[in-house]
Each structure stands twice: as structure tokens, then as C-alpha cells.
């Protein structure tokens, strides 16, 4: 169902972010010994991964809200498009009977 897709989408994005960290650490771990990687370079690449994945994670957090909003909007439009029932009036006159209208 759609709710389950939204429920698992954010953890999947977080997992991809963690895999990005793992690939980064592995690459710099092996290459850093031979070419010499500074802490600033490592920090920059960690920030690159954050800047790549953080907006995607925020979108997935709002995805279920977006889906709920779309369903609600569909219901509102269906209600607006519904034909209204107008009761029939006899002749529009009020009758006084026993002192009441």
C-alpha cells in the first residue's frame, strides 16, 4: 500500500546515506594511506554526502503528508462537484395558524 511505501522510504534513504559514508571511508581508508588525505578533505566529502542526501530525506519525510493532502483534496473536489438538493417550495407564502407562523 501507499502508506507502507512512505513508511519505508525514509529508512531506505537513510540507509543509502550510510552506505555513502561507508564507501567514502573505505575509499579514503585505502587511498589515504598512499596519497595522504587531510582531515579537511575528509570533512568536505562528508558534507557533500550530507548535502546530497539531506534534501532527499526531507522530501521523503513530507511524502506521506503530501499523499494525505492529495486524497483530501480529491474528496473536497468530489464534494464540490456533487449536485445539491434543493427542497421544493409550494408557493413561498407563510400561513398563520393558531397565532404561530
Average pLDDT of the residues of the chain: 82
Phi, psi dihedrals of residue 97, rounded to the nearest 5° = -135, 120
What percent of the chain has a predicted confidence (pLDDT) above 90?
Answer: 27
Domain map (residue ranges) of the chain = 2-79
pLDDT at 5 over 70: no
CB atoms under 10 Å from CB of 82, counted, come to 8
What CA–CA distances, in Å, run from 94 to 72, 91, 99, 100?
A: 42, 9, 12, 10
Give me 52's grid cell.
Answer: 546530497
Average pLDDT over residues 1-16: 74
**Intra-chain end-to-end CA distance of the chain, in Å:** 57
**Helix-strand-coil percent breakdown of the chain, rounded to 5?**
75, 0, 20
Whole-prediction pTM: 0.58
Q: Could you read off the pLDDT of 22-53 as tens digits, one per residue?
A: 999 998 888 877 777 888 888 999 999 999 99
Q: Could you read off the pLDDT of 63-72 as tens digits, one per residue?
A: 778 888 888 9
Amino acid at each position: 500500500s501507499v502508506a507502507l511505501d512512505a513508511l519505508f522510504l525514509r529508512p531506505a534513504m537513510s540507509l543509502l546515506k550510510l552506505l555513502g559514508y561507508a564507501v567514502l571511508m573505505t575509499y579514503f581508508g585505502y587511498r589515504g594511506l598512499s596519497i595522504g588525505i587531510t582531515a579537511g578533505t575528509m570533512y568536505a566529502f562528508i558534507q557533500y554526502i550530507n548535502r546530497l542526501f539531506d534534501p532527499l530525506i526531507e522530501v521523503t519525510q513530507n511524502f506521506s503528508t503530501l499523499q494525505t493532502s492529495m486524497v483530501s483534496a480529491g474528496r473536497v473536489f468530489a464534494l464540490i462537484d456533487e449536485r445539491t438538493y434543493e427542497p421544493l417550495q409550494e408557493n413561498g407564502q407563510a400561513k398563520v395558524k393558531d397565532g404561530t407562523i
